[in-house]
Amino acid sequence: MRYMRFGYVTAPLLGALWAVVIAITVTVAMSFMTGAPFKPSALWALVFGAASGAAVLYLGRSVVIGAAVVVFAAVAGVGFGPIVVGEGVPLAPTLLGGAACGLFVAWPLVTILKGCPAGDLTRHEFEEAILRFLVGVGYIFFTVIVVVPFYVMVMTSMKSQQALLQNPLDFSLDWSQGLGLFRSYFELFADFNFDRYLLTSLFVSVMTVLITLAFSVPGAYAVARLRFKGQKAFSRSILLIYMVPLIVLALPIYIGFSMIGLRNSIFGILLIYPVTTIPVALYMLQGYFRGLPGEVEEAGLMDGLSRLQVIWKITLPLSLPALASVSLYVFMIAWNEFLLAFMLLDDPSKFTLTRGVAMLNSSEIPRQHLMAGAVIATVPIMVLFLGLERFMTKGLTAGSVKG
Amino acid sequence: METSDTANHSAPPAAGPLAKREARLAWGLLAPTLISVAMVVILPLLSIFWISFKPVGLADLRPPVPIVNESLRGRPKVDGDEATLRYRVRNSSQDKPITGVSFTDVLPEGLEITSVDPRCEISGSLLTCTAGDIEGGFRDDFTLDVVVSQAFIDADPDLDETEAVVTGTSSNILTNFSFTLENFARVFDGSEFWGVLGVTMFYTVFGTIGALVFGLFAAMLLNKSFKGQGVLRGLYLFPYVSPVIAVAFTWVTLFDPFSGSANALLIQMGVTEGPINFFGQKPLALVMVTVFEIWRYFPLSFLFILARMQSIDEGMFEAADMDGASPFQKFWYLSLPQLLGILSVLFLLRFIWTFNKFDDIFLLTGGNAGTRTLTVNVYEQAFAVGNIGAGAAVAVVVFSVLLIFSVLFFRYINQEEGA
């Protein structure tokens, strides 16, 4: 390690490695966007990256970035460099890829090597640089692994089967089709009853939230505020329920529902869903209730309110944020639930959205329909999540004791 | 529900009427939760033990019932025509007997009965016939010779209007007292069980550790405030928040050997020669479902670890900076020890839930290509093979393994606390 702690060693080394990462990332991105055959060249990436790293040490920031963009684009246009394109790729995307590569190699390198002198590095400076490099790689890695599947999901839903088989990488959209891009979605709503599934899922999820709250609010209040034998044991053991695998419960539920004729009914689903969410809701709420000041409730009791009135008029209004978090979390569980819906619902007129999407997974139905179904199932929960991220994150943190 | 004294919470519990009333209220408030949990969790759990000792298949879920069809034969046209009233009794099952079968029916008006099947009796207009015990696949006719009157022809009654009421007890395999150990014998039979257990352990251990490690990395990345930190944090939660069915099918599409983008990309970059069947060949499929598990659940660990990191006292790091600690030293000697608590809790929880996981593998591979875990085996036995009893037996095994884990974990935790 000691031999590496010189600016003129560290900088080219980090630059070379960084250029490899960027070359791969840019090729993947360009391939996914244009479908054209882009290829990273590790050797050239190492060479050009090392040069960029060294340049950062000795030249000014804007000079390096500008030069890198121009040089990377130029060599890509000529036909070598960190990014190699196959035959028949037009000049514009080639230059764009090269320029992007140059920009994303040089710009972050300036930050990574910030404060690194050309000569001796202290251990602190050296590790800081390594750390910034790793952080950069980390951001790229996590962003790519999260974004790519969702990108593929959305884009596949707007392609045609032939186009996908011809070039699975070509996700560029044919804008000339206009609304025809959304053909799969129109077909799902028109021919596959997805409008009904959407409503069923909404109904089931909202009812699950309401029933869960109706059961868990009084229970949570009792555990948090009232004294009774077994209170401690109860608040600890309520979550043990989630140790039981759902499939172990689903089998007897399936048998029981078959025998009493509750299979294939939304009512049956609504008997089960809330019970899978009540314990975690109760646990989350009792934690919140404990944190509320008891004095206000006591004042209410003094003024002659009954316990239930206290819950309704004092505790609940004070815990609106917690209720929002719990509701969102429960809504998400019910909306995403697949196993029970899959086992208990066979009648296509009663499907929930997840069950409807499962139906699309057949060789007779084109892939883009399946992906369109996946998008339809994902978008509402994403909108909720992004719109109310604060509550959602709180709910997830408090509630993720449930698998 | 009267005012009760909450102010003296610290006082020793008194068994006074107020305390009793409070406890009663508490149990009253908890009752709905307790009852519903008992109905949906405890009851099925007990019944799965019962079923696991039963020789029961999917087809047995519909118990055999006796069926009676009533018809008037002979096409009577005018007053005085002779006809036959026929009751055809059959067993809905081909192989299971029904005992004590009998049926009653209200005879239509305007028929003059001339002869009656010896097994039947008539009192007033009520017909009672006894078929006794009938075998599987049984079918027999009970006939009454009748002479129709004009009134009957004019009324032209619908025979089904007064439907024959049939009774009979069939032995329901689920409620009788015949037991078998064959389900368990079948589950543990041969090397298959150990293969399944091995797959489960691989999936559980590596899925858990992977999700923790990646969650830790992601949390370290985001444990600083910068522009776009909120956006990235939201983005990194996507895999966990979206419906499993959507992301699982996306992965299947992405890694499809023929039309999948991942293969196309790898071939184009020259990593492989031909397409790889990611979810269809033996060791790779198991690795892929484990990777999917890590991908889907790293956000959860990330969220927890980030929350813990943000509550670590900053002053400690400043002091370490003063002393000239390097960034890696700070992480290793300062952050990591603080995170050990949350990491071990997460490990226990994730371990159990990964072990319990069913949907992910079921959607990705259906348990094929060497990815059949214990939970998938429950479904496989019960629904694909159609042997509910064997499925229940696997479920019992799942539950027992889980209990063993829990005991081990709790013992471990107690030791830690004692030390």
Is B6 within 8 Å of A301 when comparing Cβ atoms? yes
B3, B48, B362: residue with CB nearest A248: B48
CATH number at residue B68: 2.60.40.290
Residue ending a domain, choose from B170, B198, B225: B170
Selection from A230, A309, A214 nearest residue B1 by Cα:
A309
CA B207 to CA A291: how far, in whole Å?
35
**Which two three-digit tokens encode residue B377?**
């085996």
Q: Which domains does chain A have, with CATH numbers?
A: 2-166 (no CATH), 187-398 (1.10.3720.10)
Whether residue B37 lies inside any domain: the answer is no
Q: Which residues of B291-327 are buried (b: 16+ CB within 10 A; e: fewer)?
A: bbbbbbbbbbbbbbbbebbeeeeeeeeeebeeeebbb
Report whether pLDDT(A379) > 60. yes
Cβ neighbours around B376 below 10 Å, total: 28
* Domain shared by B352 and B262, yes or no: yes
Residue segments in chain B with a per-residue pLDDT below the cut of 70? 1-15, 160-161, 173, 190, 413-419
| Residue A216: closest C-alpha in chain B | B33
Q: Closest Cα of chain B to A358: distance in Å?
A: 7
Segment A71-75 shows an average pLDDT of 87
Q: Encode pLDDT of A78-95 as tens digits.
A: 888 888 887 778 888 888
Cβ neighbours around B365 below 10 Å, total: 23
Selection from A47, A190, A156 nearest residue A374 by Cα:
A156
* Domain shared by B141 and B194, yes or no: no
Whether residue B140 lies inside any domain: the answer is yes
A156, A228, A255: residue with CB nearest B388: A255
CATH number at residue B254: 1.10.3720.10
Segment A371-391 shows an average pLDDT of 89
Average of per-residue pLDDT values in chain A = 87
Whether residue B53 lies inside any domain: the answer is no
CA B310 to CA B320: how far, in whole Å?
17
Single-letter residue type at A238: I
A221, A357, A401: residue with CB nearest B245: A357
* Domain shared by B105 and B202, yes or no: no
Segment A208-234 shows an average pLDDT of 89
CA distances from B343 to A99, A193, B210, B414 (A): 42, 45, 12, 17
Q: Which pLDDT score is estimated for A267?
A: 94
Q: Encode pLDDT of A111-142 as tens digits.
A: 888 878 877 888 888 888 888 999 999 999 99
Residues sharing a CB contact under 8 Å with residue A105, sequence separation 6 or more, in sequence order: A15, A18, A19, A22, A48, A49, A52, A68, A72, A82
Whether residue B47 lies inside any domain: the answer is no
* Domain shared by B283 and B344, yes or no: yes
* Domain shared by B260 and B373, yes or no: yes
Q: Encode pLDDT of B58-111 as tens digits.
A: 777 777 778 888 888 877 777 878 888 888 888 877 777 888 888 888 887 778
> Among A172-181, A192-201, B10-19, B234-243, which stretch is predicted with the lowest mean pLDDT?
B10-19
Instruction: Supply the Cα-derived Rg of chain B in whole angstroms.
Output: 34
Q: Which pLDDT score is estimated for B126?
A: 85
CA A114 to CA A131: how far, in whole Å?
12
Q: Which pLDDT score is estimated for B6?
A: 45
* Domain shared by B102 and B161, yes or no: yes
Q: Encode pLDDT of A289-299 as tens digits.
A: 888 888 888 88
CA distances from B20 to A131, B14, B32 (A): 61, 9, 20
Whether residue B300 lies inside any domain: the answer is yes
3 state DSSP class of B168? strand
Whether residue B106 lies inside any domain: the answer is yes
* Domain shared by B200 and B334, yes or no: yes
**At CA B57, angle to CA B55 and CA B63, rounded to 5?**
95
Residues sharing a CB contact under 8 Å with residue B358, sequence separation 6 or more, in sequence order: A245, A246, A247, A339, B373, B375, B376, B378, B379
Residue ending a domain, choose from B117, B135, B170: B170
Q: Closest Cα of chain A to B106: distance in Å?
A: 29
* Domain shared by B199 and B117, yes or no: no
Whether residue B27 lies inside any domain: the answer is no
| Residue B307: closest C-alpha in chain A | A397
Structural domain for B144, as ranges: 64-170
* Domain shared by B256 and B288, yes or no: yes
* Domain shared by B321 and B369, yes or no: yes
* Domain shared by B151 and B216, yes or no: no
* Domain shared by B225 and B160, yes or no: no
Instruction: Supply the Cα-derived Rg of chain A in whole angstroms.
Output: 29
Is B259 within 8 Å of A38 when comparing Cβ atoms? no
The H or E element containing residue A81 is none
| Residue A244: closest C-alpha in chain B | B399
Q: Which pLDDT score is estimated for B90?
A: 85
Is B234 within 8 Å of A385 when comparing Cβ atoms? yes
User: Nearest 5°: phi and psi at A161?
Assistant: -55, -45
Is B218 within 8 Å of A142 when comparing Cβ atoms? yes
CA A302 to CA A320: how far, in whole Å?
24
For chain B, the domain total comes to 2
- Tell me if B58 sits within 8 A of B386, measured CB to CB: yes
User: Nearest 5°: phi and psi at A168?
Assistant: -65, -10
Report whether pLDDT(A395) > 70. no
Q: Closest Cα of chain A to B195: distance in Å?
A: 20
Q: Counting every residue, how long is chain B? A: 419
**Which two three-digit tokens encode residue B320?**
């370490």
Q: Closest Cα of chain B to A271: distance in Å?
A: 8
Selection from B124, B76, B75, B134 nearest residue B101 by Cα:
B134
CA B188 to CA B171: how far, in whole Å?
29
CA B200 to CA B394: how far, in whole Å?
13
Q: Which pLDDT score is estimated for A272?
A: 93
Whether residue B68 lies inside any domain: the answer is yes
User: DSSP readout, B329-384?
Assistant: HIIIIIIHHHHHHHHHHHHHHHHHHHHH--HHHHHHTTT-SS---HHHHHHIIIII
